[in-house]
Amino acid sequence: MPSSLSELRVLVTGASAGFGEVIAQRFAAEGARVILCARRTDRIEALAERLGERAHALTLDVTDRAAVDRALASLPADFAAIDVLVNNAGLALGIEPAHRASLDHWEQMIATNVRGLLYVTRALLPGMVARERGHVVNVSSVAGTYPYPGGNVYGATKAFVTQLSLGLRADLIGHRVRVTDIEPGLAETEFSLVRFEGDAQAAAKPYAGIEPLTAEDVAEAVIWAVRQPRHVNVNRIELMPVMQAFAGFAFHRER
């Protein structure tokens, strides 16, 4: 990596809110050129205006493979050679057990969390390898390691992200391209509101009585990993609020 983050070109998916928005802001504050990718054009254009000329808004649905290829091939010259890809776009939908869960929800999570991440990564990785520099930062979740009731397919998609990150590291041996997996625990963003489809009361319950992680906490982990010397690869970072821990075994006892 360049000695200064100001030399970087950074592409952030899911940049219209939550982790992605704050990650983009942090890189911009360090002087990097930042490509803001999301479906909500109004939000990323407003963010790009706030960040100034070193930000570029790119309306993009990562689940549309053809659109990903077109959009990334059309980046302005000053933004085209991506140094850092932050695969942040993702979502959880529903909290129902598997036998009652919505197949539509499952398909949308797989499309965004798995296929979307693959499309963007595959589009940008060859350029990183050819230039012998680059860093792929995948935003996964502790749900990919520690299952919980109702987390079924969401957790499975994040386990995919974590395992893919390790697989990329294996494939990239011999090239100066780094891969880091960021695995946050409970964090308060729009994530819960999306999961509960706009039900603000239900969305607030997971955070009751707990000081959760913030988007700023996760952005700090990303910045720290990218800032390491070029010969250092941070494989994974798992972070949780102090008042959260991985669960023990669950038992249902017959009465």
Q: What is the CATH number of the domain that holds 67?
A: 3.40.50.720
CB 176 within 8 A of CB 219: no
When pLDDT is cut at 50, 70 and 90, the band that residue 255 belongs to is confident
Number of domains present in the structure of the chain: 1
196 pLDDT exceeds 80? Answer: no
- Measure the CA angle with vertex 64, ends 108 and 73; round to 5°: 145
Residue range(s) defining the domain that contains residue 13: 5-186+216-239
When pLDDT is cut at 50, 70 and 90, the band that residue 1 belongs to is very low
253 pLDDT exceeds 90? Answer: no
What is the tens place of the pLDDT at every residue in 114-140?
Answer: 999 999 999 999 999 999 999 999 999
In a domain, 127, yes or no: yes
Catalytic residue among 119, 146, 154, 207: 154
In a domain, 83, yes or no: yes
In a domain, 192, yes or no: no
In a domain, 122, yes or no: yes
What is the tens place of the pLDDT at every residue in 16-39?
Answer: 999 999 999 999 999 999 999 999
> Can you read off the two tokens belonging to residue 102?
């919505």
Question: Which pLDDT score, from 0 to 100, does residue 201 have?
Answer: 84
4 pLDDT exceeds 50? Answer: yes
| Active-site residue flag, 154 | yes
Closest CA to 186 of 162, 204, 154, 212: 212
What is the tens place of the pLDDT at every residue in 127-175?
Answer: 999 999 999 999 999 999 999 999 999 999 999 999 999 999 999 999 9
| Separation of alpha carbons 235 and 169, rounded Å | 8
pTM as predicted? 0.94
In a domain, 247, yes or no: no
> Can you read off the two tokens belonging to residue 87?
């695969």
In a domain, 138, yes or no: yes
What is the tens place of the pLDDT at every residue in 56-113?
Answer: 999 999 999 999 999 999 999 999 999 999 999 999 999 999 999 999 999 999 999 9
189 pLDDT exceeds 90? Answer: no
In a domain, 245, yes or no: no
Average of per-residue pLDDT values in the chain = 94
Question: Which pLDDT score, from 0 to 100, does residue 206 have?
Answer: 81
**Percent share of the chain, pLDDT over 70:** 99
220 pLDDT exceeds 90? Answer: yes
Q: What average pLDDT does the segment 48-57 reach? A: 96
In a domain, 19, yes or no: yes
Question: Which pLDDT score, from 0 to 100, does residue 3 have?
Answer: 53
Closest CA to 163 of 219, 109, 214, 235: 235
